Every structure is written in C-alpha cells, then in structure tokens.
Structure 1
Amino acid sequence: MRVHFHGAAGEVTGSLHEVEAAGHRLLLDCGMIQGSPEAERRNLDPFGFDAAALDALVISHAHIDHIGRVPLLLKRGFRGEIHAQQATAELMRIMLLDSASIAESEAERGNRKRRAGEPELQPLYTREDVEETMRRVRPLRYGSDSEILPGVRLTLREAGHILGSSVVELRADGRTLVFSGDLGPKGTPILRDPEPIAAADLVLMESTYGDRLHKDRAETILELGRILEAAWNDGGNVLIPAFAVGRSQELLYWFAKYWDEWKLSRWKIFLDSPMAAKVVAVYDRHAELFDEDAAKVWKEKPNPFDLPNLHLTVSAQESMAINAIERGAIVIAGSGMANAGRILHHFRQNLDKPQTHVVFVGYQAEGTVGRRLVEGAQWVRIHGRDIRARAQRHTIGGLSAHTDQHGLIEWYGAIAGHPPLALVHGEDKAREALAGEIGQRFGTRAVLARPGLTLQV
C-alpha cells in the first residue's frame, strides 16, 4: 500500500490523498482550496494524477475543503463509486449544489464584464455535474466493514467533527491505513466523541490546531454569554461568521441550553443561510447520531432548531431586510472564514460601527477577510470597497470544530504501538509544534506531508 499526497499537505484546505492498494487506486477526499483569490485559483490546476485511472473515492466529511472538487473529478474522467457515511452523503448534495451555484453566478458576473475577444468564463462545475456526482455516492453506516474494491476493505468511525464526520480505516495487502479526517474535541455538543482506533500501520492525522490548546469549554460558554450581554448593553448587533455545517448548529444548541440565563428572548436570531436551513433538516433526520446531552436538551429545552425568535432567512430579500435592524440582532451567516457569502454583506453594513460585535468561532485561513480581522486589521476590502473595521472582535477558540494539540496527541496516543504518522491539514507552524510534542512523548518521528511525497505503508 502506498500513499501519495496532493492537497492539504502544508496547508489547511484542499484535502486530497491518493492511495494505491491491492492493485487499485483510490482517493481520500477531494477538497476545495480556500483562502486568498490566488489560492483559490489553484482549484483550476490539473490534478497530480489521472482521474480516469481512479477506482474509488472515500469522503471523510462534508465540509467543502474535503469535497469541493469532487464534481470536477468526474468532469476530468473519474467513473468510480464514492463512499461516505450516510449523513455525509445527504450533506454533500446540499454543500456541492451551493458551491456549484456560487461558481455559476461568479462565471455569469465575470462574463457580463468580459471584453470583446476575451474567452468566456466557465464555472468550475455546474449543478448538473453535482447531480451526476451524487448518483455515484454509496452511503455507509459507522462501523460497517465494506469491501469497496476487490481486496480493499473500508470502515468508517465517528470523528466528532460535524454530523457524519468519519475517521477512515482502509485495509488491504495485509496493512491498515487510518486517515483521521478532521477530529472534533471531546464533549462537543450534539456529536459523540471521536472513536479511538485500536491499531494501524500508518496514520494520516490532521493538525489544524497542532500548536495550541483551546479554552475550557465551560469557560468558553461563559465568555459567549458575556459577549452577548455586552453587545446588548452597547446597543449593537452580533455578527457570527459560521460554517453552515457544524458551528451553526452548535451555536443554536447553546442558545437553547442557556435560553433563560442569556435572556435570549429579547434578541432577534437569524440563521442567514439557505444552505444552513437545509442542513438543520438533515440534523433533525439523524438524531440517532446525537450524544446523550443533546437528547436531553432537545427534550427539556426549546428545540435548538425551532427557537421562538429564530428566523431562517432563505431569500436574498429576507437577508437584506436584516440590515434595517440597528440593534438586538444576532446574525449567524456564512461563510465561516468570511471569504464569501452573506456575512460579507452584513460586514459592509455593520463593521464600521463600534457597537457591533463580531464573534469568530472557527478557523480563519490565510488570505481571508476573517483572518485579517482576527489579526486586527483596521480596514478590509469587501466587494471592491474598503470598509473601516471599528467593530469589537472576539475569537472563541473553545467552540472550534477541530480538537486542539492535547486532543490530537491523546487520540494518536491511544493507537497501539504508536505507528508511523504523517501530519496533514495544517500549516507548518502547527505541524512542527505537534510533531515535536509527539516525538518527545512517544518517540514517533512524524512526517510533515508535502505535495508529491509518497509513503509506503
């Protein structure tokens, strides 16, 4: 068994790993590169392999940096089956259709500005490409042992990152390859904890927060409550860039749990994302994947997805109407890294107001508006305009969907014999820190994966 690294090998987005096993070739993830415009243009680059020669694709979870180039893979010749956990399969359709819609709209806008003689812009893929992609998806349950190709067996295990997120366990040629996907912290609301892995011959592990520790979750929740109280007293609105899958649902969970303590009935709460509204329905259909605490909240508190003052804004007109609200609005909107989506429209209207509070609850990639704001930028460029950033900013690391350095070390340390390890899905600073800690504790010399690197299992 061999592993060839192509994406998310020295950066956080664009997950893409090729595996040779039992005479077959398959992929682990096929994600979109996100961040600066220069980084995102790399999505058009040729793959470092022949898509038509691949026999299968395994998806770890439905975030776009893990699935965003799957339709492009089909356009370039892939004809194999796509294997994903059941909830992931449902979320894939929502996420990819949204991605295609954005790509089509961007191409249309670009063509309206096209000068005579310039080539017509084409979207990365279309909604029709997504439908063709979904016909190839084969949903799997957690824990099922499936032969996805002759001599290649697959088991998906809970990763605790978002609904349906999976640790991938591949067995072939008498060897076992484990790919962590993205690992969530223990105690994440709604989701069960990541499942420990008994043994492996090679582990590919994410390292997004390999150089830091998150705040204690209880302390984090207290901080969120204090921010909401301060924002109310300041007379402004609260803007929360959040991914449609994962953080949006967790925020609503906390709002339900602390409904009385945080006096949330006085706010107007907006989940301003057509995609997030569809995702909520998928969560409702898969309550069997929830942990015990979530089941209790659903039973004893207001339903997090049906709060009395929660507005699911679907149309553009509904979204624009939020801008007429001067104070008392909590707006959860995509994208989570503020590099696109409706959150940018709310930034344009609110970012220059000192009474506005912006709350970052997830990772902000280099080159994004979110990263610049987190780093203290006084001006940001949005939709071609320079916007003064006078809003108060808060970064709440304890709500991250990724586990921290301690969680990564604990998960890896539970694998028998501390097998060879390659770190992916992380910037070098984070990977180097994590590799150093793991080497000191277990004697494992972790490899920092790079595009073009091949490892033998």
Structure 2
Amino acid sequence: MTPEIHHHGATTGVTGSCHELRYAAAVSPDSQSVPGYQSLLIDCGLFQGDEAGTDGARANQLQIGFDIAPIQALIITHVHIDHVGRLPYLLAAGYRGPILTSPASSELLPLVLEDALKVGFTRDQRLIERVLAMLQSRIIALPFGQWHRLDGQGGVVALERDGEPGESTDGGPLIRLQRAGHILGSAYVEIEVPDPRQRIVLSGDLGAPDTPLLPAPQPPERADILVLESTYGDRCHEDRGTRVQRLRAVIEHALADGGTVLIPAFSIGRTQELLYELEGLFYRHGEDGAQARAHWQRLQVVLDSPLAADFTKGYRRLRQAWDDEAQDRLQQGRHPLAFEQLVTVDDHADHMHMVNYLAHSRQPAVVIAASGMCAGGRVVNYLKAMLGDPSHDVLFVGYQAKGTPGRDIQRYGPRGGYVMLDGERYDIRAQIHSISGYSAHADQRDLIEFVTGVPTAPAEVRLVHGDESAKMVLEGRLKEELEGGQVVVP
C-alpha cells in the first residue's frame, strides 16, 4: 500500500490542524469490516472563525467524525490550541493509543488542555481531572533527533540517537522529532514507513530563524513527501531590528498620551517573545529615546491571562531549552520573562479592576491578553472599554483568521469601522497597528529555504495551514524552485 495522507483540517485556513498518514497494516485484518491499513494522526486542533474540517468539524462542531480504529499513535507537533484543542474529543471518541510529543510539550500540554476543558467542555473539576489523568497516562516524551519505533503495545522503542535508522524497521513506522523553532517544544515530524519505504515529513508550524528564545529550525536531511505549513506563504516579515523599533514607537505613543497598548496574543509562544523583547527595550532604553528613561519607568506591562502566566513560568522552568542569546541574558543577571515592570493579573475581579483603571486613569501601559484573535477571553473586555478612545492603541502581532473579530478590527479599524463583540457593535477609534515580524511563523523566504535546504528535493510538497491566497503564491514560488517536484494544494 502506498502511503496516503488525509487532511482532516487546516485545508481551508490556518486552524484545525489534523493530518492522518495511512500505511500498510503490519498484519492483515481478520475481518473485511476492519480497514486494511494502519495510521498515525498528527495533531488534532480546534477550528476558529469560518474554517472547517473534512469530517464536518468547525468552531461550534468539535466531535470527531473520522474513523479512529486504525490510528496507532497521535503525534503532537506543539501545544497551540489549533493543533491540540480537539484532543479531549478524540479521547471521548475512544482513542486510547499513545500521545507522542517533545519533552517540553509534554509538560505544557496538560496546561493547555485543562484550560480548553474548562472553557469549552465542562466546569466539573472531577471530570477534568479524570480526563487529564487519562491524558497523562498516554503521553510519551520523545527527545529531539532520535528515531523511535512503535512497539505495538502502546509504547515506543528508541533506536540509535544519531544518523539514519538503518534498513530494518521490523514492519512498523519510524518516528523522529526535530526542532521547529515555533514555540517552546515545537517539533516537525519525520516518519519513515516500509513497503514501499518512504520518508514523510510534516512541518507542523515552523518558526522564523530569529525567533526570540528558540534555536532556528534546520531542514530535514531527507523528505520524499513534505507536508508544509503556508501561513505566510505570500509575504515576508520585517526583520527583527525593524519590528523592535516599531514596537518601541507604539509604546512611546502610549507614553506621550497616557494610553494603553493592547496586544491580543496567544498564551504560549508569542506572549513570551513579547515579554523578552520588552525586557530588552527597558534594558537598552537611554538618551536616544523620544521619551526620557523616567517616563519608561512609569510604564506598566500587564500580563492579564492566568494561562499565559502559567506558560511563562513553564518557559522559565524550561530555560535550558532557550537559545544562546537568551542564555547570555541570564548570564548577565537579567530576567527576560520576570522583569521589574511586569505585573500579572490572576482572578476575574482584579481583571475587571485593571480594565476600568487603565481605561480611565491615563496610566501608560502595555497589556498582553488572550485570545490572540479576539474571539474570546479577557482581551474582549479591554476592547469593549478602549476601542472607542483614540488615546489607546491595539497592536496585532499574530495572524488573524477570517471570521474572527481580530480580522475585522485589523481590516476595518484603520478606516474608522466597527466590530461586533458579544453581539454588540463597537466603533473603532483607537489606533490600530500590525507588526508581522512578531509572528511565530516562518515567512515565505523561510519556507522556501526550508524546502530547498533538503539535499534531494522532495518528490511532493503538500501545502496546508494557510489561506487560499497564501497557498497559491507559495505554490507558484515553489514550482519555480523545484525542478520536477510536484506541489499540491489539498
């Protein structure tokens, strides 16, 4: 059986990542009712906005609609909700196989899913604890760079740490995780299947080479088929120096008029990168700034998200995985994710107090709050209180999917439009900014370099996790780069 890839999500946009790799069963089934194949599932994420999956899933329809019987293992590339948010529904559907992911992701995944369960599944703490216990019992952490083979008993067997896996796979697929540089613990997945022997690589979400805190991803040494994300396949990001200066300019506007810079951000990844860059601005700011250092010392940085605060603690706890630049800051005695001006907000009453205080006090502040696409969470209360006041700024640093309030604010805000939040209309008078350079995703240049960095060009590249325009543009560029290679948009 030639391996087949079935995409259950991330084909109509940038959310709902879920891909199934089917391959020949090691043992022929006894019954004709049992599929003659086995499979691996890579990610099982939530949809947002108008996006949908091939099994009928969408933002308000989360049940699993595909056959889980052949799935031998679930591989998690990273713990963003659009890659793991449907995992509780997979467990509810009866999946009891292993959940394979990197060591850092294995620590962060329960935090993500506990929050997802409370928001969209149940408030019953005993039920949540049962689900989390089931989850913990299935997680197997795989170190980066080492081949593993499924043992057929719900576990894995480690092979040699370095180099190629050799000729024998004992009839089962081999799996290896490599650093993806997107968020802490993120991985791309290499899978080698026998009969016929092929290597399939699924990129997950790739990070930009200069992403704060994380080493840059390196292309695989081989890929017969490459499933590649395409979020920014039609554009290139600003360089890191430019985006820092733009961030600084927006903050100095807040210092000048006593407003708030509101940054909708995902709880993991982008939030920690922003804190890292803000610590750098506080550390470096001196006589060359438009605002005096004393004014900067008045600035509060408010992290108003219990989940983001938990993840930030996790990032600090896992600092051995940080890159060399971040390690140098630690050696200098600096605290990139726990600096003096940082304030965290925990309970709901404190959150509402902070919203009202910043909306009326003219205390300059930077607020980082979820959700990143303004589709829910505490950021919505800030938007309701601040969108109508031109002294405030909304700064988008991540992708805004079609059908989300964030996309509407980003698109219509600069033209004096409005947005619907919780069924009510809010006029947009605040200043709206977007800095694409803070995206945790690779841009078009990075994606092309990842593909062309494979020593022998893939026979097939499949583009997922992107809007139609991004996929079409990247498809054209890759066809120019790959001689004889096929580029497919599922």
Confirm or deny a common fold (TM above 0.5): yes
Match of 2:47 in 1: 33
- Tell me by how many angstroms 1:47 deviates: 3.5
Quote the Cα distance in structure 2 between the aligned partners of 1:342 and 1:55.
38
Quote the Cα distance in structure 1 between the aligned partners of 2:304 and 2:137.
29
Pairing 1:37-436 to 2, within 5 Å after superposition: 41-42=58-59, 44=61, 47-104=64-121, 126=128, 128-149=130-151, 151-173=172-194, 174-260=197-283, 261=285, 263=293, 264-300=296-332, 302-323=334-355, 324-325=357-358, 326-327=361-362, 328-377=364-413, 378-419=417-458, 420-436=460-476
Contact 1:159 / 1:184 at 8 angstroms: preserved in 2?
Answer: yes
Contact 1:435 / 1:445 at 8 angstroms: preserved in 2?
Answer: no
Contact 2:12 / 2:51 at 8 angstroms: preserved in 1?
Answer: no
Match of 1:116 in 2: none
User: Once the two structures are superposed, what CA deviation does each residue of 1:83-120 show, in whole Å capped at 9, x if it has no partner?
Assistant: 00011111111111111111146xx8xxxxxxxxxxxx
Name stretches of at least 5 consecutive residues in structure 2 with no aligned partner: 26-37, 153-171
Residues 425, 27 of structure 1: alpha-carbon distance in 2 compared, 3 angstrom cutoff: same
User: Once the two structures are superposed, what CA deviation does each residue of 1:348-372 show, in whole Å capped at 9, x if it has no partner?
Assistant: 1111110001110000011111100
Quote the Cα distance in structure 2 between the aligned partners of 1:245 and 1:386.
30
Comparing 39-48 with 20-29, greater Cα deviation is found at 39-48
Residues 382, 81 of structure 1: alpha-carbon distance in 2 compared, 3 angstrom cutoff: same
Comparing 267-276 with 15-24, greater Cα deviation is found at 15-24
User: Once the two structures are superposed, what CA deviation does each residue of 1:266-322 show, in whole Å capped at 9, x if it has no partner?
Assistant: 211111111011101211121121111111123326312221121111111121121
- Tell me by how many angstroms 1:43 deviates: 5.5
Quote the Cα distance in structure 1 between the aligned partners of 2:471 and 2:94.
34
- Tell me by how many angstroms 1:133 deviates: 2.1
Contact 2:304 / 2:344 at 8 angstroms: preserved in 1?
Answer: yes
User: Once the two structures are superposed, what CA deviation does each residue of 1:56-101 show, in whole Å capped at 9, x if it has no partner?
Assistant: 1001100000000111011111110000001111111111111111
Quote the Cα distance in structure 2 between the aligned partners of 1:306 and 1:21.
47
The residue matched to 1:200 in structure 2 has which SS? Answer: coil
- Tell me by how many angstroms 1:329 deviates: 1.7
Residues 304, 7 of structure 1: alpha-carbon distance in 2 compared, 3 angstrom cutoff: same
- Tell me by how many angstroms 1:416 deviates: 2.2
Contact 1:7 / 1:14 at 8 angstroms: preserved in 2?
Answer: yes
Match for 1:158: what amino acid? R
- Tell me by how many angstroms 1:428 deviates: 1.0
Q: Which has the higher contact order (CA 8 A, sep 6+)?
A: 1
Quote the Cα distance in structure 1 between the aligned partners of 2:129 and 2:394.
33
Contact 2:262 / 2:393 at 8 angstroms: preserved in 1?
Answer: yes
Match of 1:448 in 2: 489
Contact 1:52 / 1:79 at 8 angstroms: preserved in 2?
Answer: no
The residue matched to 2:379 in structure 1 has which SS? Answer: helix
Residues 295, 322 of structure 1: alpha-carbon distance in 2 compared, 3 angstrom cutoff: same
Contact 2:199 / 2:223 at 8 angstroms: preserved in 1?
Answer: yes
The residue matched to 1:52 in structure 2 has which SS? Answer: coil
Match for 2:273: what amino acid? E
Contact 2:13 / 2:51 at 8 angstroms: preserved in 1?
Answer: no
Residues 42, 329 of structure 1: alpha-carbon distance in 2 compared, 3 angstrom cutoff: closer
Structure index of larger Rg? 2
Contact 2:62 / 2:89 at 8 angstroms: preserved in 1?
Answer: no
Quote the Cα distance in structure 2 between the aligned partners of 1:37 and 1:320.
32
Quote the Cα distance in structure 2 between the aligned partners of 1:152 and 1:81.
14
Residues 48, 41 of structure 1: alpha-carbon distance in 2 compared, 3 angstrom cutoff: closer
Match for 1:17: what amino acid? H
Match of 1:119 in 2: none
Match of 2:4 in 1: 2
TM-score normalized by the length of structure 1: 0.90
The residue matched to 1:305 in structure 2 has which SS? Answer: coil
TM-score normalized by the length of structure 2: 0.85
Name stretches of at least 5 consecutive residues in structure 1 with no aligned partner: 109-121, 450-457
Quote the Cα distance in structure 2 between the aligned partners of 1:342 and 1:233.
26
Aligned residues: 433
| Percent of matched pairs sharing the same residue | 38
Match for 1:161: what amino acid? H
